[in-house]
Chains A and B, each alone.
Chain A
Amino acid sequence: MADAVTLNDLTKSFGPDRGVSHLTLDVGPGQVFGFLGPNGAGKSTTIRVVMGLYRPTSGSATALGLDCWSQGVALRRRVGYLPGDLTLFPRLTGREILDRLTKARDDVDTRLRQQLIDRFHAQLDRPVRTLSKGNQQKLGLVLAFMHRPELLVLDEPTSGLDPLMQDEFATLLEETVAEGRTVFLSSHDLGEVQRVAQQVAIIRKGRLVTVDTIEGLRNRAPRTIELRFRRPLADGSAFSALPGVRVTSHSGHRMVLTVEGDVGPALAAAVPLEPVDVVARPADLDELFRGFYAQPHREGELHAL
């Protein structure tokens, strides 16, 4: 089965330091794939290349086995798209927009369309310009899902949605991937992606920083271990020499460590020092992501799937 999305050394340049550079990425089918990065990192640029709105400067982008630019018509028949800065025709009502775009597609499942309208409580009878951002976003979601596409490309999909609708959206994604379909969604919000995605790619300043599963990232995320010892320790040298271990604070009986990777070596080093208590806090993905966002790309950081 072809990958849902494949980027092969993709570059889209708009001048120096603008665009995306040398992205190589394979998104397997039947999953929610999160595309994370800070504002201006190149998420929307990549998505527009996938949707055939931008022509690659070099390299290539394919989806469902079809070239995103030269075979765009056949591809877009099988893809649902929600733009990041969704702008619908302001003077038309939601119903009129849905009807006109349904006619233009000629492959819409009208029963599914109605189910989606009901699920998201989409408001259809008011001009779009009078709707809130969230209510416009609901129309955008109906438009993206209404022809039961094999691949969904969603740019910041929960933007403006209230928590209840975000839950509904998460359920819809679960149902979508359960049917073997693929969702490629971008976000700058880790919480959102962590909740729905199985794998993520992180992009920063137009370059791919890492690609991993959520579980893999969690394993790599730093965790905090607080130890209390029977006797005061002179220093943290027993821990600071260990790979991936950093002594965050130390005062008498108490030692706080930040550990990246397995905690085994740190615990083994603690045993001879007679620990009396240990508190481990869960992996802090936020911390990891902030690190990815903030630090320049380092060679070897990229973990292709």
Chain B
Amino acid sequence: MHSDVARLDLRLRRRSILGYTMGLAAYAWLIVALYPTFRHDTSLDALTKGSSTLSALLGASGSFTTPDGWMNANLYANFVPLFVLLMTIGYGASAIAGQDEEGTLSSIATLPISRTSLLLQKALALAILSLPIPAVTFLVALIGRDFQLRLATGALLGTTVAVVLLGLDFGLLALAVGSGTGSRGVALGVAGTFAAASYVTSSLAMTVHWMRPLRYASLFYWSVGHRQLIDGLSPSSLLVLLGAGVVLGILALGGFRHIDLH
């Protein structure tokens, strides 16, 4: 498969990739470096005692002071997915609809490349875009061993893969909506709304009883919502995250093959 279009799009986003990745790396390092200061601070655990709704909304559950609780509450349940989603939803909405609206897509769409190949290259760029933030967080988390922050490598790796797939899935949702409607705004709105709803559903399902069954509809739940930093990425979670990606990719392709471009 040719990858010139994917490389072009990645080149166009080079600065934002670097900016987001370095920003999150700095934040992750700070969180890791602060851990020894707070690991015996039991007052933090009071926040999540009694299944606090507030802490659930922030993505925190269980103990704050265990290595997994600390990393989950400060990184994996909120900021890491948020930053990945900012990048992937932003690109997903821009890759077809945004570029078509600004007029740059016609130079690409009139090359001797099929729409299927073009969309696969956009999906490839999306997949690559979802990698750097989870990868750099993974590396910083490994450094955490020097700061008494010991996490199981397999579980950490599994969570990293889960966050990559989460970013890819929501990026593909934005790509599918953009390919179907031709509107960057609609793609951003729909994907952003679904991501927010998915996050809230996964978070509140921990404390709001009637929402518990709904968590299965949340990609956040399958990615970071149930003890992934301890148990790793389960085969069922992997299947759901991959399956959602395949379905959304097929929808994006269906839309792109029929839409009028400018």
Chain A interface residues (CB < 8 Å from chain B): 48, 51-55, 72-74, 76-77, 79, 81, 83, 85-89, 91-92, 96-97, 100-101, 103-105, 107, 143
Contact = CB atoms under 8 A, between A and B. Distances in A.
B258 interface: yes
A105 B111 contact: yes
A55 B258 contact: yes
Those 4 A-B pairs whose CB atoms lie nearest each other, nearest first: A87-B103, A77-B112, A104-B4, A76-B112
A89 B7 CA distance: 14
B110 A76 contact: yes
Contact of B111 (A48, A54, A104): A104
Contact of A52 (B11, B107, B110): B110
Given A87-B103, A89-B104, A53 B111 contact: no
B190 interface: no
B107 A88 contact: yes
B103 A91 contact: no
A96 B260 CA distance: 27
A101 B260 contact: no
Contact of A83 (B4, B103, B112): B103
Contacts of B112: 73-74, 76-77, 105, 107
Given A73-B114, A76-B111, A103 B4 contact: yes
A85 B261 CA distance: 13
B12 A91 contact: yes
A214 B260 CA distance: 33
Interface string B47-70: 000000000000000000000000
B197 interface: no
Nearest to B115: A72
Given A91-B12, A104-B2, A55 B110 contact: no
A184 to B, nearest CB: 14
A101 B12 contact: no
B247 interface: no
A227 B180 CA distance: 66
Contacts of A88: 104, 107
Interface in B1-60: 2, 4-5, 7-8, 11-12
Nearest to A140: B107
Given A48-B261, A53-B110, 12 more contacts: A51-B110, A53-B109, A55-B258, A55-B260, A74-B112, A77-B112, A81-B106, A83-B106, A83-B107, A87-B102, A89-B104, A104-B4
Nearest to B4: A104
Contacts of B262: 48, 53, 85
Contacts of A85: 103, 262
B5 to A, nearest CB: 6
Nearest to A44: B262
Contacts of B111: 76, 101, 104-105
Interface residues of B, number: 23
A107 B7 CA distance: 19
Nearest to A147: B112
Nearest to A54: B260
A100 B108 CA distance: 10
**Interface-central residue, A51, A53, A76, A77, by most chain B CB under 10 Å:** A53
B113 interface: yes
Contact of B113 (A55, A73, A79, A87): A73
Contacts of A96: 11
B104 A87 contact: yes
A81 B110 contact: yes
Contacts of B2: 104
**Interface-central residue, A87, A92, A104, A105, by most chain B CB under 10 Å:** A104
Contacts of A73: 112-114
A88 to B, nearest CB: 7
Contacts of A100: 4, 7-8, 11
A80 to B, nearest CB: 9
Contacts of A74: 112
Contacts of B261: 48, 53-54
Contacts of B107: 83, 88, 97, 101, 143
Interface string B98-137: 0000111011111111100000000000000000000000
A109 B94 CA distance: 32
Contacts of B114: 72-73
A107 to B, nearest CB: 8
Nearest to A78: B112
9 contacts: A52-B109, A53-B109, A53-B110, A53-B260, A73-B112, A76-B111, A81-B106, A87-B103, A105-B112
B218 to A, nearest CB: 37
A88 B105 CA distance: 9
A55 to B, nearest CB: 7
Nearest to A49: B260
Nearest to A107: B112
B179 to A, nearest CB: 14
